[in-house]
Amino acid sequence: MNVFMDENFLLTTKTAERLYYDYAAKMPIMDYHCHINPKEIALNFQFNTITQIWLGSDHYKWRLMRSNGIDERYITGDAPDWEKFKQWAVTLQKAIGNPLYHWSHLELQRYFGIHQPLTAKNADKIFNHCNEILALPEMCVQGLIKKSNVTLICTTDDPVDSLEWHKQLVTEQKFETKVLPAWRPDKAMNIENADYLKYLSTLEEASGKTISSFADLKQALLIRMDYFNLMGCKVSDHGLNFVCYYPAEEEEIERIFSKRLSQKEISHLEELQFKTAFLLFVGRQYHKRNWVMQLHYGTKRNNNSLCYQKLGPDTGFDCILTEASSAQLTDFLDALNQTDELPKTILYSLNPSDNAAIGTILGCFQDSSIAGKIQQGSAWWFNDHKIGMLEQMTSLSNLGLLANFVGMLTDSRSFLSYTRHEYFRRILCDFIGCLVENGEYPNDIDFLGNIVQDISYYNCKNYFGF
């Protein structure tokens, strides 16, 4: 029997152990997609309790606690930090097979030196110990990032964001890790939202451009793109239900936009036509600026209406969408490709059934401009567990070139989530190690080590141009 989460956790072969310890473990981290707050980095925030950093905004944990029948007061409510932590400990102890069990204990090990399982019985001791450690000066936000060996972070930022905290970090030049903005224009695209016109007013203020037409909207976005580019932005991101492709003439898009400005209801088809035009426009601009386009799709959000009204978005009420169409995705990519304006693109589907479809789409649009121009992103959200990662790696290696994969990201709001890179790298090394020891690939350890280091770090650095 293996020891619980010992030094060889998830490493089942000698080859895997060698690949991890000699090659993967020492590599820095480039976190090219996350949701952490740049203000907390700039102000070098220090958390008072483990509850704040663990449960403050982690809807993964919130979902699990609700599944355990925990009252919302201990999840997003006003219960004291200790009581929230105790309820999380009660829940975590039951989470056998859930990646949160491994992630949480990796964080306890790496940041707090705790190698025993968290239970309801020892929750008080662990709570107090973690709080004592968090009080140390080096456990401030910037200290945690440095301890995690993170060289770059891309936050997720709306076109109207001032990027003032990114600017402060650049001006002060006290923090070695690069913190760059990433362009997330969902609110500018989601024309169907009730507060869309209110958002346009905010975009007008940020851009200094009056928006009375779709052409004006594009000009306002260009102004903001130029600003983001000036601030070092190299990547965009889109959160989509699915990638749509309903092309229409420019006059039709202007009519739809004018209709929405007049506060008239638009049809679902008109919504999709507008979004298609929007995505084609920004996609061409990404190509022009050499930005990477990330498309996150296959999700249906805010499904519990009552809880959404009480708690808002990103609180744990989203699910996998099964109706995404690879036909529309490929038509969209092809429309950009026809005019040689297809940017470097990373595709993520929340539906694991889409792995093979994505794998075949990649091969349709690769070209000589860069190895792996079109990427399948790492196993995302509900799939970033051991099985999900193995399925993604298996599909990618079966249908493409795993060696060119840009690797892991945190997609997290927590400054302790960098252990997810360790989790990923252990699984990657074990996947490759098993192939070698099964006689399915030569035991050229130096070449294999280079592949592991590329996936862990160098592919990302070269692909994004950081």
CA–CA distance, 365 with 353 (Å, rounded to integer): 21
Exposed (0-12), middle (13-18) or buried (19+): which is 31, by Cβ within 10 Å? buried
The structure tokens 């580019």 sit at 229
| Residue among 152, 25, 79, 98 at smallest CA distance from 424 | 25
Q: What is the pLDDT of residue 323?
A: 73
CA–CA distance, 445 with 22 (Å, rounded to integer): 10
Q: What is the pLDDT of residue 17?
A: 98
Q: What is the crossing angle of helices 81-92 and 59-67, to 10°?
A: 70
CA–CA distance, 240 with 173 (Å, rounded to integer): 36
The β-bridge relationship of strands 29-31 and 235-239 is unpaired
pLDDT tens per residue, the chain (466 residues)? 899 999 999 999 999 999 999 999 999 999 999 999 999 999 999 999 999 999 998 999 999 999 999 999 999 999 999 999 999 999 999 999 999 999 999 999 999 999 999 999 999 999 999 999 999 999 999 999 999 999 999 999 999 999 999 999 999 888 999 999 999 999 999 999 999 999 999 999 999 999 999 999 999 999 999 999 999 999 999 999 999 999 999 999 999 999 999 999 999 999 999 999 999 999 999 999 999 999 999 999 999 999 999 999 989 999 999 876 789 999 999 999 999 999 999 999 999 999 999 999 999 999 988 999 999 999 999 999 999 999 999 999 999 999 999 999 999 999 999 999 999 999 999 999 999 999 999 999 999 999 999 999 999 999 999 9
Name every residue whose Cβ is closer than 8 Å to that of residue 40 and which is 6 or more positions away in sequence: 141, 415
Q: What is the pLDDT of residue 319?
A: 95
